[in-house]
Amino acid sequence: MQRRLILKLAAALGAASLFATGMAHAEDTIKVGVTGGPHAQIMEVVKTVAAKNGLNIKVVEFSDYVQPNAALAGGDLDANSYQHDPYLQAQVKDRGYKLIRVADTVTYPMGIYSKKVKSLAELQSGAKIAVPNDPTNGGRALLLLQKQGLLKLRADAGLKATPLDIVDNPKKLKIVELDAAQIPRSLNDVDAAAINTNFAMEAGLKPKQDAIAIEDPKGPYVNVIAIREADRNKPWVAKLVAAYHSPEVKQFVESKFGGSVITAW
């Protein structure tokens, strides 16, 4: 009788141990959203590094800028790594997402590309210039065009400038707003286009070699890891950030992308 009781107790303790182990494993497995190209490639290296510290990462790839934040806010992701901080802040303000930035990742200087001219000086009057249609990347493109002397924006336009903020346009450029991910495929239809580096590289363009103008990498557009505000103190957050900021990831970025993608830590 006593032996039977001991065996039952041992079985119960064993089941409890397995349950606890399963719970711990579940807590150490997270889903991280990324966009295709460099963000996805970098996160695969982060995944390998994080696994050594007991954090299992499932990388979920998206083809646009809108869904990763919607999925994170809705609980389908635990974190995402694909956007610069001005875009995140605009999404938080416009959509009411309770998302926060927990770490800086990399910077992708935006470039201007063309299949029709080899320099901005060759652009003719009325040339069509494609820019992203989301507020922050569209403003970023217009600021880059302004820095290149192609147009002038209102002094108070800020980072979210729109074509309505253009106050001087000597060449009468026609600004064509398109989804950021679609712009590389539209290069044949416009005279030039401002393209985010991750989408440029995904399309086989080499920013340092192919861009006819490129953004200063030390601007405000550093990319970030975002999480839900309620998760800020969870142990996996620190593990994720430590894995991303590891020497292995820095070395991968520097060797893989040759200066087109720059680490921000």
User: What are the boundaries of each domain within the chain?
Assistant: 2-108+220-263, 111-214
- What is residue 4's predicted lDDT score, i.e. its pLDDT? 53
pLDDT higher than threshold 60 for residue 2: no
Contacts of 12 (CB under 8 A, 6+ apart): none
* Same CATH fold assignment for domains 2-108+220-263 and 111-214: yes
DSSP secondary structure string for all residues of the chain: -HHHHHHHHHHHHHHHHHHHHHHHHHHTEEEEEEETTHHHHHHHHHHHHHHTTT-EEEEEEESSSSHHHHHHHTTS-SEEEEEEHHHHHHHHHHH---EEEEEE-EE---EEE-SS-SSGGGPPTT-EEEEESSHHHHHHHHHHHHHTTS-EE-TT-GGG--GGGEEE-TT--EEEEE-GGGGGGGGGGSSEEEE-HHHHHHTT--HHHH-SEE--TTSS--EEEEEEGGGTT-HHHHHHHHHHTSHHHHHHHHHHHTTSSEE--
Mean of the per-residue pLDDT values for the chain? 90
pLDDT higher than threshold 60 for residue 3: no
- What is residue 198's predicted lDDT score, i.e. its pLDDT? 85
Bridge partners, 60 (sequence order): 33
Compute the residue count for the chain. Answer: 265
pLDDT higher than threshold 50 for residue 142: yes
- What is residue 217's predicted lDDT score, i.e. its pLDDT? 75
Which of 52, 27, 37, 15 has its CA nearest to residue 242? 52
- What is residue 220's predicted lDDT score, i.e. its pLDDT? 87
pLDDT higher than threshold 60 for residue 6: no
Task: Name the CATH superfamily, with its identifier, for domain 111-214.
Answer: Periplasmic binding protein-like II (3.40.190.10)
Rounded Cα gap, residues 17 and 14, in angstroms: 5
Q: In Å, how far are 68, 227, 239 from 200, measured between CA atoms?
A: 19, 26, 31
pTM: 0.72
The distance in angstroms from the start CA to the end CA of the chain is 64
Which of 57, 14, 53 has its CA nearest to residue 34? 57
Q: CATH assignment of 2-108+220-263, given 3.40.50.2000, 3.40.50.300, 3.40.190.10, 3.90.320.10?
A: 3.40.190.10
pLDDT higher than threshold 60 for residue 158: yes
